[in-house]
Amino acid sequence: MLNPIDFYLPNPRTEALVMLCKNVSERLSHPWTASDAAKYLGQSERTVSRRFQQELGLTFTEWLRQKRLLHASELLASGCSVLDTALATGYDSPSAFSAMFKSRTGLSPREYCPMVNPLEQD
């Protein structure tokens, strides 16, 4: 059995980004934007973008995409449906989620599931 996708997701060091990332992680189904992150921190989008880049080496949007992808891989590995996984990770449709998943992993969610959870095969 394969492990869920192993992508690097750096952890923030400063308290403000730790709290933001924790909040975002607890609400991944919310349609987060860089503007939301800026409002949460009480800073401009540009400042937030710089802080993320300096501290994590990623933009907020890149970090969010990686976080959602990691969570999605865990959900799929646990047997969650593609639709439920898409909705739980902030995508409005399974097709948008599947396109993102395949572009990042090279596998569609339906190809990935049997690889990480062979007992769930039809």
Question: How do residues 36-65 score in pLDDT, each as one tens digit?
Answer: 999 999 999 999 999 999 999 999 999 999
Tell me the per-residue pLDDT of 17-30, one tens digit each, with 9 for 90 and over: 999 999 999 999 99
- Tell me which residue of 78, 96, 76, 104 sits closest to 31, measured CA to CA: 96
Cα 62 to Cα 10, 57, 66: the distances in Å are: 11, 9, 6
Which conformational region is residue 112 in: left (phi greater than 0), alpha (psi within -120 to 50 degrees), or beta?
Answer: alpha
Fold of 15-120: Arc Repressor Mutant, subunit A (1.10.10)
Tell me the pLDDT band of 1, cut-offs 50, 70 and 90: very low
Share of the chain above pLDDT 70, in %: 90
Please state whether the predicted TM-score (pTM) of the whole model is above 0.75. Answer: yes
Q: Write down the domain spans for the chain.
A: 15-120
Q: For tokens 């934007």, name the residue.
A: 33
Task: Say what the pLDDT of residue 6 is.
Answer: 63
- Tell me which residue of 42, 46, 27 sits closest to 90, measured CA to CA: 27
Tell me the per-residue pLDDT of 72-122, one tens digit each, with 9 for 90 and over: 999 998 989 999 999 999 999 999 999 999 998 889 999 988 887 766 554
